Amino acid sequence: MVRGLLILLSCLMCSCQLFHISEILDTAERQIGECPDSALTTMRSIRRYAVLLPPVRARYGVLYSAALDKNYIDIASDSLIRYSADFYDLYGTPEQRMTAYYYLGRTQENAGDILPATLSFLDAAQYTDAVDNNYLKGLLYSNLGVMYNKHFHYEKAYKYAEQSYQYYKAAGLKQHMAFQLYWKGATCEKLNRHKQSISYLNDAINLAESINHKQIILWSYRTLIIIYENISDTNNALKLIQEGENKFGTSLYNYSNICGAAATVFAHKGELCKSKNLLDKGWKYAKDDLDSSAMYLYTSKIAILNNQINKGYDIYNKSLEIQFNIAAKNAGGPLNHSVGKYFEQKAINAKNRSEQQKRIYIILLTAIAVCVVAAAIYSRKKALQQRRQIENNIAVIADIRKSIESQNKEIAAKLQASAKGHFDIFDEICNLYYEQPTDAKKQIVIYNKINNLISSFRSDAKVLANIEDIVNICYNNAITKVRNEMPQLREDELRMLCYIFAGFSNQAIAVFLNCEIGTVATRKSRLKSKITKANTTHKELFISLFA
């Protein structure tokens, strides 16, 4: 008994805790769009060891990873969101799978694992057709564009940027649209589609200015300057440099490539001192091989402009050498091969998992079938035994039932006859009493005795209770049912109903109530009318007892 209570208490505590955690997760989900810092605080209020139920743990992993991502917090391990992705891969909806794989990709990207991140984003992209969430699809394709850009697959990077732009447009998100316009322009620049790139970047600037997003304007200015320098349109490049300096000041040059491009433009214009300062600044900002390759290219251009031809070509060769090394390291084949192998292995794993589950289901179904057959055989034998026993008992039960019904009818008839006879005596006495003059001396003794007997019927509580009990016994609890179904009746009305149901005449009732026969008839008629109009279950029984 005690153990059962403890188990019940534990279950109640677990269910209460689960409800509490679900409420916290709901709150974090509402906060994550507008207040990601609050969402992260909310998620951190949950202790991880309390999240044990797999569906709750999976949801917790997605929301916690999303909160970290939106607060620009990079974590090295993807074990938390990996559990969510694996769980939803088996049991989730398309949107849950897409969301889990998206944040798995973001976590891997933040940790610097570019290839796994790309594969996770591609995994998420499988569900876009089944998901009606343009914002999430825009985020996914934006990140795919970034990944393919890092893999130097600029055609696919542009394709994904275009898809992301269309989803953001459908969602009405101007800031995100402006960023994708910038990204399309930057990608087209790498594809040497300069005219298309300039168009996208100008569109990005116009849209960003309409929502006052300075960062996108700054990025677009830098890329446009690099493009104009690249196509030797020095005048437009210089014009944008001057506009950029007016808008952003020195922050225009906080990036190596823009320093190199601007230094080359100023070298064209003969401003060698400014050109040298910007070139030195560009080298300080160079952070990887790509930046170094670009800076060598700008340095070689400036050297050639300064008539240092041999030096210029030597530096240019260094730029080419770095580019060749990058191209060899990041050729498209390995990525395509990795993507193919990843999905091929995933399909094999899914097939193995399906076959394993099929085997488990077959074993379970076989075991269930054996148990069902055994239970059916046992049940049939048991049923045959029980049927014989039931058949033997049916006759006995039928005889007992008939005997009981016969006895009940006999007892009820005797009770009704006894009650009627008992009340008939008093009825006759009351009639006699009512008709005899009270002033006759020779009847005074009889009158007094009858008067005392009638007084007991009139005022003795025990006698009145006894009459009510007899009426209830003989007439299916009629008085009790009236009390329950018509609580609005007064006690004197219930008393009169008791006399009526007992079968007393109007004369007798007049004697009991010490009133005239006409008064009894009037009250009796009113009571019958009240019962007739009342919405009671046993109305017909009550009316029948007025006869």
* Per-run averaged pLDDT (10 residues), the chain, 547 residues: 40 50 86 87 78 84 89 83 93 94 92 90 94 95 93 93 96 96 95 95 96 95 94 93 93 92 92 92 91 92 89 88 77 57 58 57 71 78 74 57 56 51 57 59 62 68 82 88 90 87 85 85 89 87 82
Contact (Cβ atoms closer than 8 angstroms) between residue 74 and residue 110: yes
Query: How crowded is the C-beta side of 247, counted as CA atoms within 13 Å?
Result: 21
Q: Which two tokens stand for residue 306?
A: 């300064």
pLDDT at residue 516, as a whole number: 87
Burial of 8 (0-12, 13-18, 19+ CB in 10 A): exposed
pLDDT at residue 188, as a whole number: 95
How far is C-alpha 336 from the chain's CA centre?
39
d(CA 85, CA 104): 7
The structure's pTM equals 0.60
pLDDT at residue 433, as a whole number: 61
Q: Mark residue 35 as left, alpha or beta (left: phi above 0; alpha: psi -120 to 50; beta: remaining).
A: beta
Q: What are phi and psi of 212, to 5 degrees?
A: 60, 50
Block residue for tokens 């890092």: 150
d(CA 283, CA 296): 9
Write down the domain spans for the chain.
Answer: 428-544
Q: Alpha-carbon dihedral of residues 221, 266, 302, 237, nearest 10 degrees?
A: 30
d(CA 454, CA 429): 9
d(CA 402, CA 355): 65
Which whole-number Å values give the CA distances from 356 to 8, 90, 327, 362, in the listed order? 36, 14, 43, 10
d(CA 294, CA 313): 14
Contact (Cβ atoms closer than 8 angstroms) between residue 275 and residue 234: no
pLDDT at residue 381, as a whole number: 79
d(CA 466, CA 63): 76
Q: What are phi and psi of 133, to 5 degrees?
A: -145, 90
Contacts of residue 302, Cβ cutoff 8 Å, sequence gap at least 6: 263, 264, 267, 275, 279, 312
pLDDT at residue 10, as a whole number: 40
d(CA 236, CA 233): 6
Q: Which two tokens stand for residue 453?
A: 């007997």
